[in-house]
Structure 1
Amino acid sequence: MFSTDRQTHRRIFLEAWRKAKAQAPLGPIESQIVELMRRHPEYWPFLEDGTRALDQDFPPELGQTNPFLHLGLHLAILEQLSIDQPRGIRERYQRLLTHLGDPHQVEHAIMECLAESLWRVQHQRLPFDEAGYLDCIDHREVRA
């Protein structure tokens, strides 16, 4: 479903949002996307400006969150939880949920670890370190 082409990837999110607003039927992934978007009302104005949303860059030095990256990381975490991959993430999620009490906060805590792990893959050209990722989540549990 997802593409490596930025605009194609973004169109999937924008189309899901458009369909939800029109009360059109949604596929399973679209339903997940829309649920995530509903938890992030701060992105709604941006998502409704299709042209800007397709083309805007989000350089880190400007301090803006990339809504598509943020929502995509949420989706990745939901997928990881659904298949317990890497093995043990579901258990760690449940432990964090016990401490934090809010699934969205738990996803954000895990998201920090996932983003850090993906940054290493991209910038240090290292393979994804599952053990390091899970260790990072374990440290979030300690702080929770």
Structure 2
Amino acid sequence: MWSADRAALRGVFYTAWRHFREHAPLDGVEALVVEALLAHPEYQDLFVDAPSFAAAMTQTTSDVNPFLHLGLHIAVAEQIATDRPPGVIAEWQRLEGLWQDGHRARHAMMECLEETLWEAQRQGVAPDDAAYIERLRAIPKGRPQKS
């Protein structure tokens, strides 16, 4: 899925949703894309047809970039599946247990991941796994989350 070509990378979202709607087999990361889209019906129309997708590719007025948001969902799902960085599964279990809401827990993790990635990009360094885990550990039970 990872590519330097932004259009090709975003095309994976379109293809995955088309495969899902056509009841075709999902390849590799497509299952994670579909899982994220099923959790976010507000984005599904962006991937229904070529004109909607083309509009989404150039949209700059939204407060939320659907590709970034869905990409963070995928990244967190992969982290949980592999416990990478080490400690992610424990934090996922803690947050999901506190809120009894896996989607809310993933969103909390996504906020921490986004902050970690932004910081690394700003400094021109690799993301700091230890800082990311510490951000996850610092999430209190009642912290309000974005959807």
TM-score by length of 2: 0.87
Q: Equivalent residue for 1:101?
A: 100
Identity of aligned residues (%): 39
The answer to whether the Cα contact below 8 Å between 1:3 and 1:9 also exists between their aligned partners in 2 is: yes
1:28-72 residue CA offsets vs partner (Å, 9 max, x unmatched): 42112111101101112222212112x3154xxx55211111111
Q: Equivalent residue for 1:45?
A: 45
Change beyond 3 A, Cα 1:141–1:94: farther
Counterpart code for 1:50: F
Question: Counterparts of 1:28 and 1:128 in 2: how far apart (Å)?
Answer: 25
Question: Counterparts of 1:75 and 1:117 in 2: how far apart (Å)?
Answer: 16
Counterpart code for 1:51: A
Q: Equivalent residue for 2:36?
A: 36
SS where residue 140 of structure 1 aligns?
coil
Question: Counterparts of 2:84 and 2:32 in 1: how far apart (Å)?
Answer: 18
Structure 2 portions without partners, runs of 5+: none
The answer to whether the Cα contact below 8 Å between 2:98 and 2:141 also exists between their aligned partners in 1 is: no
Question: Counterparts of 2:115 and 2:128 in 1: how far apart (Å)?
Answer: 11
1:86-143 residue CA offsets vs partner (Å, 9 max, x unmatched): 1111001101111011111100000000000000111122331111111110111454
SS where residue 25 of structure 1 aligns?
coil
Superposition RMSD on alpha carbons, in Å?
A: 1.6
The answer to whether the Cα contact below 8 Å between 1:20 and 1:34 also exists between their aligned partners in 2 is: yes
TM-score by length of 1: 0.89
Structure 1 portions without partners, runs of 5+: none
SS where residue 138 of structure 2 aligns?
helix
Q: Equivalent residue for 1:18?
A: 18
More helix by share: 1
SS where residue 4 of structure 1 aligns?
coil
Q: Equivalent residue for 2:58?
A: 56
Tell me the matched-pair count. 140
The answer to whether the Cα contact below 8 Å between 2:33 and 2:70 also exists between their aligned partners in 1 is: yes
Q: Equivalent residue for 1:131?
A: 130
Counterpart code for 2:53: G
